[in-house]
Chains A and B, each alone.
Chain A
């Protein structure tokens, strides 16, 4: 089974082709806010490297958010349109869950602006604390390995190998039953924009 994995949710642009349990090509670069221009250039590279036909993929897996709104919409739009038209299966995984990969006692943190962060705590496959947007001062990272924007918590920034993370979390990917109903996981409701 050939799966195209895409993460455009945050600072990195990662595109990975996974065949069964093996990464056959990958592209991962820091690309904050330039993903919509770069994503197809990157996809071109991974397909060229792997020497597989673009339409031969069996599924697409994307990080569904949280993250930059524009960013999470990029992978989501690709997955929805191609999943529907090709067609192929679409899988999703939370961006924070993805970044945690298979680490033990891991807190993933991402800037959500206005002194808030997106934060989730994982221990291997276990979800210790569900993804949420919370004030920075409420995050206590003392007992955890911190992934993501660690600087916000007085540690250092570290995002890990996102291509590897897709592979390591494969058993946690969630298959979309109905592609047309898929929406990004914004974690901030659109109602907040109505005011």
Chain B
């Protein structure tokens, strides 16, 4: 979340400042900028209350100077600098500035790339601008006539009610999610009617929170997006009606987003995707290898013939009398486990998957051990299941890449949060441009729907007010 810098943020900001600059600003300087400098505005980017980046603007009539932009050392290369910069550009635009200027050390390649990527051009070189004798580039970006279109997106396909607002440059204005997982955990799975009821209860509060946090008017939005499928029909309905209501009353085009495209495109918040792209989509409802030639062409080249991998995790957790959802539980138990039990490797031709045989093998093994009066070592069983299940993902992904060479590989969906899968992906595909989504992007949210909607908007791909929700829609549609 990006907000105005407050005095209480200063300790964290100063520690970043001191480790980032040869001539850091001191506390007094910052306080003066906050309290006394009428043309300056300082912003901080916070993750879980930790400052990860900050920046300052000076407003001078039609011109705006970017006087500071810093990212915490341990958080660099994660896109925070980019998002902070885009946010500051938007602040300047909203204040009516026509230009943005900055100086950057000619040797600071990463910063230069960031500014160039965001449309800054070098005006001239300032010789020996810095105390160490380094030259600086004077860079400028025009702010007129570049209106980034904003999208409001709603997600309600399963048990999360969410709303987010971003613009087509992927500046995040807000993202609000409420999960029903605590309720459904009591029953070992999502109860569709309960989920629908909770969506209706939450929907208006969530939309309002997202709009308020973004500090925008819905009138400023260029389009309303929602998850049109796949998912639970009753859940999809609520988000669909909410999105259509906004679209109808505010007269905005409507975008019906495929949920899994959201899981794929949210990776663009980390870094741009390059095509052709291979996506391993793994969740409670899906296990798919998707070959993506460009942002409009999706081809399922492998899929599960029975259970989705997340479903298998849930069922195995149930067999072991562990809680729902099973993914995190088994992941945790397996960390303490060792090779002990033998489970059969699923045998499926081609690029497809199967997990129901593996799940049954776990059930049989538990029954056999119990009949023999042995206590099951849950850690070892979790380890055995997880290794076999994940190895089949890795093996098929490798086969897929042999048949469909790609530059980029992403994993997407809830199971992308699995720590062992992430390890294995890194071990096995270190030679590729691999994107692992941050954990917070693995669970359902509306930001992902908004990220995908940017592509629909770019291609003018809208749906009508009479569009039906599609509970079992394919990503190829």
Is A78 within 8 A of B241, CB to CB?
A: yes
| Chain A residues within 8 Å of B191, by CB | 193-194
The complex places the Cα of A85 from the Cα of B237 at a distance, in Å, of 19
Interface SS, B side = helix
Asked if A11 lies at the interface with its beta carbon under 8 angstroms from chain B, I say: no
Known contacts A180-B204, A186-B197, A190-B194; decide if A38 and B248 are in contact (CB<8 Å).
Answer: no
Of A39-47, A118-126, A158-166, the one contacting chain B is: A39-47
Asked if B201 lies at the interface with its beta carbon under 8 angstroms from chain A, I say: yes
Known contacts A69-B193, A184-B200; decide if A82 and B245 are in contact (CB<8 Å).
Answer: yes
Partner of B204, one of A37, A44, A84: A84
Least CB separation from B219: chain A residue: A55
Of B40-48, B141-149, B432-440, B461-469, the one contacting chain A is: B461-469
Is A69 within 8 A of B204, CB to CB?
A: no
| Chain B residues within 8 Å of A184, by CB | 197, 200
Is A81 within 8 A of B203, CB to CB?
A: yes
Known contacts A84-B207, A180-B205; decide if A78 and B245 are in contact (CB<8 Å).
Answer: yes
Asked if A179 lies at the interface with its beta carbon under 8 angstroms from chain B, I say: yes
Is B248 within 8 A of A85, CB to CB?
A: no
Known contacts A81-B207, A84-B204, A193-B193; decide if A41 and B466 are in contact (CB<8 Å).
Answer: yes
How many chain B residues sit at the interface, stated as a range, is 20 to 34
| Chain B residues within 8 Å of A180, by CB | 204-205, 208
Asked if A36 lies at the interface with its beta carbon under 8 angstroms from chain B, I say: yes
| Chain A residues within 8 Å of B241, by CB | 36, 39, 73-74, 77-78
Q: Mark each residue of chain B from 173 to 217: 1 if its CB lies under 8 Å from any CB of chain A, else 0.
A: 000000000000011000101101100110111011001000000
The complex places the Cα of A40 from the Cα of B205 at a distance, in Å, of 22
Chain A: minimal CB distance from B313 (Å): 22
The complex places the Cα of A193 from the Cα of B397 at a distance, in Å, of 39
Is B204 within 8 A of A36, CB to CB?
A: no
Going nearest first, the 9 A-B pairs with the smallest beta carbon separation are A80-B204, A40-B465, A84-B204, A77-B241, A180-B205, A78-B245, A193-B193, A37-B466, A81-B242
A-B contact pairs, 27 of them (CB 8 A): A36-B241, A37-B468, A38-B466, A39-B244, A40-B248, A54-B251, A69-B234, A70-B234, A73-B200, A74-B241, A77-B200, A77-B203, A77-B241, A77-B242, A78-B242, A81-B204, A81-B207, A81-B242, A81-B245, A84-B208, A85-B204, A85-B211, A85-B246, A85-B249, A183-B197, A184-B200, A194-B191
**Contacts A73-B241, A194-B191 known; 18 new A-B pairs at CB < 8 A:** A36-B240, A36-B241, A36-B468, A37-B466, A37-B468, A38-B466, A54-B249, A73-B196, A73-B237, A81-B204, A84-B205, A85-B246, A85-B249, A179-B204, A180-B205, A190-B193, A193-B191, A194-B187
